[in-house]
Amino acid sequence: MANSSKFGATWRPDRIWFGGDYNPEQWPREIWDEDMTLMQKAGVTVATVAVFAWSKLEPREGEFDFGWLDELLDLLHANGISVDLATATAAPPAWMAKNHPDSLPVTASGVTLSTGSRQQYSPSSKTYARLAACLVSKMAERYGSHPAVISWHLNNELGCHVAQCYGEDSAEAFRLWLQAKYGTIENLNRAWNTEFWSQRYTEFDQINPPRQAPTFINPTELIDFDRFSSDALLKVYQREAEILRAATPEIPLTTNFMGLFKYANYWQWAEEVDFVTDDSYPDPADPQHPAQTAATRDLMRSLARGKTWMLMEQAPNAVNWRPQNAAKPAGMNRLYSMQSVARGSDGVMYFQWRQSRAGAEKFHSGIIGHAGSETRVFRETAALGSELAGMQEIIGTRNHAKVAMVFDWESWWAIEQPAGHTNLSYLGNFMTWYRPLFDQNVLVDFVPPQGDLSSYDLVIAPMLYIMDDRTQQNLADYVAAGGNLAVSYQSGILDEDLAVHLGGYFGKLREVLGLWVEEFAPLAKPVRSTKPLPEVALSGSVSGKGKVWTETIHATTAETLAVFLDGPSAEGIAVTRNSFGKGQAFYVGTQPNKPTATMLVNRILAEAGVYSEFGFIGKGIEIVRREDKVFVMNHNDQPFELPAELAGKLGIASTIAAYDCLIGIHHD
């Protein structure tokens, strides 16, 4: 379904969104007034309302009670707080399961998921679709012209608990999806290579979702099910969007994404929303998180393609759902908020306004905690609210990246399938490349495999496992026209049906890279050994260590930058560079360890002529430029002394406190 919205890249919020999920239905009425006072004090501009309110709005099937929500929206409006109104379809009431057990989701092993939690619906359930449509229509009719409502928040974190469903309605929808894709069963047989293991089908209705089976399931069936499941979740959004676009075409729509979420191909989803929103829960105890969170911000900005994106949810302090729930030390709440603004967000929102008193999230932090509002968290959040109120001119300003990384959900799904190569992690390899760029303060855009690459000085394609003809052509054209491309191992291995590119892999890219691969030799950990995963030494004009992977590479026209010194591919080629057309292509046949990745990325940046405006400043120091504003962030628990010249140029203090963010101005 095409996005029939009138909201394009020009739509912007008229003030920075600051606030979060507000669930007053969990609280007595008198608390609401206190909430209003405190929201004003904290500088809240937007509240996301009714996310989990279905059972209160429709206590019995077909019986609606909107009185409390009418009052709430009026109250928020009277207090100058805008509303991001949820469609309330994320958590069906218990009556739905009782009256319509077919609405419940089913796992691959046939277990029906029950009530008492949330999200217990199958994305393909016809009953759920009908009942959700009824609720959404009523919401649109009742609140479409309410002056407080500035956006619709469709469902909530689609797929976060039930990303794939294997029940009967899903089976039927999967067959229809396959029929639409392949037209005839013969086409499907060809694409799925069903001569293998006697899998040939004569009718579409013989096909099931990939339910638990004796052993490995057909890989093409698996990836088609991944594609279908992402589409099925998107369809939940699209069904709601269709109703809302018809009823309230003047209100923009969003649904909150979940960062690097495996089961939803957000490249497709982003086309359907009027603005991109993201939920982000970095673990304060994980030292890798500054870079990983930066990557999700870059992904959101890239998905938005010029449209507004906003941080829709983050925790003001600890979450409650990790094995260990570290608190955010003083400053970190603001630091991660500013990181999102630095990387393009026009809003800073939280889950949730008031911490629950009971229920499964009672120990998940809120802006107002169990102790009330005379707290560090409230004070820090309120101070941020007032700071953001003074930064309105940032709305709609852009970041400009010279480097892009190709991000491909389908390669992610395929490379981590069973019956492939064990221990390969798509995100792990992606971050191997992203992290050194982050450390060097080089801003990265994400691009889909067939995206427009022409504005980038360097494009990195890590583990682009699937390359169809168009992707090969896109990359080849980019290099031919003068681009700099870096490709990692396990790229260009399969076509879109997961059939191997014969003759040394890569398809058309063989010529661009100037090499072919004869044989894979992954670095397996010896069985029964307690030693860590092995590494191999690399030597040449690039030297260091590789891990996870080696292979036998034959250069046709490529120049060797490093060879493997030891390991299963000893003396063979490890890293290459090849001139092609007006550009050049690098190939890396292993996963470099951290120092080696840094060295390699620096070498490639230098050969591509990409110079970081700021360069590496220090461990944990992140610098991002958003037009003339430069955000300097310290992720360390100690103060850091910035180079005097940099501080002087940006007009900021030269000492940055632990977890602080200084905002300077770039005059050029």
Q: Is 61 a catalytic residue?
A: no
- CA 318, CA 210: separation in Å to the nearest integer? 37
Range 577-636, binding ligand GLA (CB under 6 A): none
Specify the residue, 191 or 315, whose C-beta has the smaller distance to ligand GLA. Answer: 315
- Contact between 281 and ligand GLA by CB under 6 A: the answer reads yes
3-state secondary structure of 552: strand
3-state secondary structure of 482: coil
Least CB distance to ligand GLA at residue 118 (A): 8
Least CB distance to ligand GLA at residue 105 (A): 18
Least CB distance to ligand GLA at residue 352 (A): 7
Q: Are 151 and 85 in contact (CB under 8 A)?
A: yes
Specify the residue, 226 or 279, whose C-beta has the smaller distance to ligand GLA. Answer: 279
Least CB distance to ligand GLA at residue 385 (A): 20
* Residue 471, token pair as written in the block: 């992707």
What is the Cα Rg of the chain in Å? 26
Q: Is 571 a catalytic residue?
A: no
Least CB distance to ligand GLA at residue 160 (A): 6
Q: Are 621 and 339 in contact (CB under 8 A)?
A: no
| Marked catalytic residue, from 157, 380, 410, 622 | 157
Binding flags for ligand GLA, 295-324, as an x/- string (CB under 6 A): ------------------x-x---x-----
Sorted by sequence, the CB contacts under 8 Å of residue 234 that are 6+ apart come out as 158, 264, 268, 269, 272
- Contact between 279 and ligand GLA by CB under 6 A: the answer reads yes
Specify the residue, 254 or 550, whose C-beta has the smaller distance to ligand GLA. Answer: 254
Range 153-172, binding ligand GLA (CB under 6 A): 156-157
Specify the residue, 360 or 570, whose C-beta has the smaller distance to ligand GLA. Answer: 360
- Contact between 336 and ligand GLA by CB under 6 A: the answer reads no
Place of tokens 């046939």: 110
Specify the residue, 230 or 255, whose C-beta has the smaller distance to ligand GLA. Answer: 255
- CA 433, CA 458: separation in Å to the nearest integer? 12
- CA 276, CA 281: separation in Å to the nearest integer? 17
Q: Are 600 and 575 in contact (CB under 8 A)?
A: yes
Specify the residue, 102 or 361, whose C-beta has the smaller distance to ligand GLA. Answer: 361
Specify the residue, 315 or 597, whose C-beta has the smaller distance to ligand GLA. Answer: 315
Please tell me the total number of residues recorded for the chain in this structure: 668
**What residues are paired with 485 via a beta bridge?**
459, 585
- Contact between 84 and ligand GLA by CB under 6 A: the answer reads no
Q: Are 465 and 487 in contact (CB under 8 A)?
A: no
Specify the residue, 242 or 283, whose C-beta has the smaller distance to ligand GLA. Answer: 283
Place of tokens 């168009």: 470
- CA 507, CA 516: separation in Å to the nearest integer? 10
| Marked catalytic residue, from 221, 240, 272, 313 | 313
**Residue 67, burial from CB neighbour count under 10 angstroms (0-12, 13-18, 19+):** exposed
* Residue 12, token pair as written in the block: 């912007």
Which residue in 17, 54, 237, 351 binds ligand GLA (CB under 6 A)? 351
Binding flags for ligand GLA, 97-136, as an x/- string (CB under 6 A): ----------------------------------------
3-state secondary structure of 235: helix
Specify the residue, 268 or 356, whose C-beta has the smaller distance to ligand GLA. Answer: 356
Amino acid present at 24: P
Least CB distance to ligand GLA at residue 384 (A): 19
* Residue 79, token pair as written in the block: 């207090």
Dihedral of alpha carbons 342, 344, 345, 346, sign = positive
Specify the residue, 283 or 468, whose C-beta has the smaller distance to ligand GLA. Answer: 283
Specify the residue, 217 or 315, whose C-beta has the smaller distance to ligand GLA. Answer: 315
Other C-beta atoms lying within 10 Å of the C-beta of residue 321? 11
Q: Residue 144: what are its φ and ψ, rounded to 5°?
A: -55, -30
For 184-208, give the secondary structure using H, E and C: CHHHHHHHHCCCHHHCCCCCHHHCC
Q: Are 153 and 241 in contact (CB under 8 A)?
A: no
Q: In what order do the strands lie in the sheet with 661-665?
A: 621-626, 629-634, 661-665
Binding flags for ligand GLA, 638-667, as an x/- string (CB under 6 A): ------------------------------
Least CB distance to ligand GLA at residue 561 (A): 44
CA distances from 441 to 119, 158, 602 (A): 39, 33, 12
Distance from the first to the final alpha carbon of the chain: 44
Least CB distance to ligand GLA at residue 27 (A): 16
Least CB distance to ligand GLA at residue 90 (A): 8
Nearest alpha carbon to residue 240 among 133, 158, 103, 149: 133
Least CB distance to ligand GLA at residue 519 (A): 45
By CB under 6 A, the count of residues binding ligand GLA is 10
* Residue 554, token pair as written in the block: 């034959």
Which residue in 354, 364, 435, 545 binds ligand GLA (CB under 6 A)? 364
* Residue 497, token pair as written in the block: 């049906």
3-state DSSP helix/strand/coil percent for the chain, to nearest 5? 35, 20, 45
Q: Are 424 and 415 in contact (CB under 8 A)?
A: yes
Dihedral of alpha carbons 373, 376, 381, 383, sign = positive
Least CB distance to ligand GLA at residue 495 (A): 36
Binding site for ligand GLA (CB under 6 A): 156-157, 279, 281, 313, 315, 319, 351, 361, 364
Q: Active-site positions?
A: 157, 313
